[in-house]
Amino acid sequence: MAMQSATASQAAAADISSLVRAAQAGDQEAFEQLYRLHVGRINAICRRMLGDPRWAEDVVQDAFVRAWLMLAGFRHESCFGSWLYRLTVNAVLLELRSTKRRRARVMPCEDITELDHRQESPAPDQALDLETAIAGLPEKARLVFVLHEVEGYQHDEIAEMLGTAVGTCKAQLHRARHLLRERLQR
Amino acid sequence: MNSSNMDEKLNALISALPDAIEPSRDLWPDIAARIRAVRKPAQVITLVSAKQVKLPATSTGRRAGSIWSKRPAAIAAALFILVSLSAALTILSKQPGVSEEGWTVTGIAGAPTIGRIGMNREGAIGVGEWIETDGESRAQIEVGNIGQVELQPNSRVRILRAGADEHRMALDRGGINAFILAPPRLFLVETPSALAVDLGCAYELTVDERGNGHLNVTAGWVALEFHGVQSLVPAGAACVSRPGSGPGTPYFLDSAAEFQKALSDVDLGHSLDASLPELLAASRVRDSLSLWHLLPRVARDQRALVWERLTELLPAPPGVTREAVLNLDRPVLDQLKEDLEQFWF
Distance from CA of A4 to the nearest CA of B (A): 23
For chain B, what is the mean pLDDT? 80
Judged against a pLDDT cut of 50, whether residue A121 lies above it is answered with no
pLDDT at B1: 58
CATH number at B100-248: 2.60.120.1440
Task: Please state the domain extents for chain A.
Answer: 11-108, 109-186
CB B203 within 8 A of CB B176: no
Judged against a pLDDT cut of 50, whether residue B65 lies above it is answered with no
pLDDT at B88: 36
Lowest mean pLDDT among A62-76, A105-119, B308-322: A105-119
Please judge whether B6 and A94 are an interchain contact, meaning their C-beta atoms are less than 8 angstroms apart.
Answer: no
Please judge whether A43 and B6 are an interchain contact, meaning their C-beta atoms are less than 8 angstroms apart.
Answer: no
Share of chain B above pLDDT 90, in %: 46
Architecture per CATH, domain A109-186, reads as: Orthogonal Bundle (1.10)
Judged against a pLDDT cut of 80, whether residue B121 lies above it is answered with no
pLDDT at A6: 55
Please judge whether A24 and B44 are an interchain contact, meaning their C-beta atoms are less than 8 angstroms apart.
Answer: yes
Mean pLDDT within B34-41: 58
pLDDT at B38: 53
Question: pLDDT confidence of B152, banded at 50, 70, 90?
Answer: very high
Please tell me which residue of chain A has the smallest CA distance to B14: A150
A75 and chain B in contact, CB less than 8 A: yes
> CA-to-CA distance for B178 and B181, rounded, in angstroms?
10
Judged against a pLDDT cut of 70, whether residue B71 lies above it is answered with no
Q: Can you list the pairs that A78-84 forms with residues at least 24 positions away whose Cβ atoms lie under 8 Å?
A: A79/A13, A80/A16, A80/A17, A80/A20, A80/A34, A81/A16, A81/A38, A81/A41, A83/B145, A84/A38, A84/A42
Lowest mean pLDDT among A119-123, B46-50, B270-274: B46-50
Please report residues of B whose CB lies closer than 8 A to that of A90: 146, 181-183
The per-residue b/e assignment along A138-172, b for 16 or more CB within 10 angstroms, e otherwise, is bbbbbbbbbbbbbbebebebbbbbbebeeeebeeb
Residues B77-90 have pLDDT tens digits of 444 444 433 433 33
Lowest mean pLDDT among A58-62, B83-87, B261-265: B83-87
Which one of A29, A75, A97, A140 would you mutate to disrupt binding with B, by most B Cβ within 10 Å of its Cβ?
A: A97
Question: pLDDT confidence of A99, banded at 50, 70, 90?
Answer: low
Is the pLDDT higher at B74 or at B237? Answer: B237
CB A186 within 8 A of CB A124: yes
Tell me how many residue pairs between chain A and chain B have CB atoms under 8 A apart: 144
Residues B288-320 have pLDDT tens digits of 999 999 999 999 999 999 999 999 998 888 889
pLDDT at B244: 87
Mean pLDDT within A48-72: 87
Inter-CA distances, B339 with A30, B94, B185, Å: 48, 46, 23
Residues B188-244 have pLDDT tens digits of 999 999 999 998 778 999 999 899 999 999 888 899 999 889 999 998 999 999 998
pLDDT at A71: 80
Judged against a pLDDT cut of 60, whether residue A182 lies above it is answered with yes
Question: pLDDT confidence of B95, banded at 50, 70, 90?
Answer: very low
Interface of B with A in 138-167 (CB under 8 A): 142-148, 165
pLDDT at B334: 92
C-alpha gyration radius of chain B: 27
pLDDT at A143: 94
Residues A25-34 have pLDDT tens digits of 888 999 999 9
A72 and chain B in contact, CB less than 8 A: yes
Please report residues of A whose CB lies closer than 8 A to that of B126: none
> CA-to-CA distance for B263 and B282, rounded, in angstroms?
10
Please judge whether B184 and A64 are an interchain contact, meaning their C-beta atoms are less than 8 angstroms apart.
Answer: no
Architecture per CATH, domain A11-108, reads as: Orthogonal Bundle (1.10)
- Torsion angle of the four alpha carbons B84, B87, B89, B94, in this order, in degrees rounded to the nearest 10: -160
Neighbours of A79 (CB within 10 A): 12
B172 and chain A in contact, CB less than 8 A: no
